[in-house]
Amino acid sequence: MNRATLVKNIFKKKSLLCVGLDLDIQKLPEGVTPLEFNKAIIDVTREYAVAYKPNLAFYECLGMEGWRLFEDTVKYIGNDHFIIADAKRGDIGNTSRYYAQTFFETYPCDAITIAPYMGEDSVKPFIGFEGKWAIVLGLTSNIGAKDFQLLPIDQGKLYQEVIRSTANWGSEENLMFVVGATQAEMIGEIRKLIPNHFLLVPGVGAQGGSMEEVIKYGLIADGGLLINASRSIMYASSDMDWKEAAAREAALMQTQMAAFL
């Protein structure tokens, strides 16, 4: 999906919502299969979401059955929503090229999350596929972010140099950056570095990030944000009303977003 189509969908739905499909089989309702659960979550959130983000860790741990589940889930989402493979790959050369081929050709994903630690030749193999995106880890919201990302360097902080340099390896049409919602106050500084790139923002919902703060600092003329919620939607209820609860949570977030679009 190219940028123009993504932006069109955002304003058509008045939504920045990305639903994270973090499938925890320990939390499934009794008698519901993993694929039935994913399909149900997708069905009740389609009208509110512009993107879905299956987290590969929850699928790879299931072996071959997990890969089939991932494939069936991605196919079920279809072409009308932006699909992010949250795989956090990070390697170079042929390895990265085959990772890109996996998620852009073998599976019909629009984007993949990647770690840029190994430098330009770990990012470039993901760029150049028409309508496909590399989503680079920029500033994460975990406790360990301070270990490296926030280290001071001559130009400011290490994460700022990572974002500044990486932005030159692609364009606003094929590069996004991950910025954690709990780091919302830093999004303003990041916008000075990349004023027009899309940001994928996890951490709203169960992780406690503020949607209003993220939008305040990160929203641009054509949206420029995909705000992810996973557990707060998928597991909004553990009772019989789990589908209705997921729909209510997604609808609430979309309504809050619409006020800014």
Q: Which of 137, 89, 80 is nearest to 110 (CA)?
A: 80
Q: Which residue has the tokens 């009208």?
A: 47
Positive/negative CA dihedral, 98, 104, 108, 109:
positive
170: CB partners within 8 A, 6+ apart: 123, 127, 134
The residue annotated as part of the active site, out of 8, 14, 88, 124, is 88
Q: What is the DSSP string of 87-147?
A: EEE---HHHHHHHHHIIIIIS--SEEEE--TT-HHHHGGGS-STT-EEEEEEE--STTHHH
Q: What is the DSSP letter of 220?
A: B
Q: Which of 79, 83, 92 is nearest to 112 (CA)?
A: 83
Going along 140-222, which residue ranges are E strands? 152-153, 156-157, 175-179, 198-201
Q: What is the DSSP letter of 239?
A: S
Q: How far apart are CA 227 and CA 48, in angstroms?
A: 12
Catalytic residue flag (residue 192): no
So which residues are the catalytic ones? 88
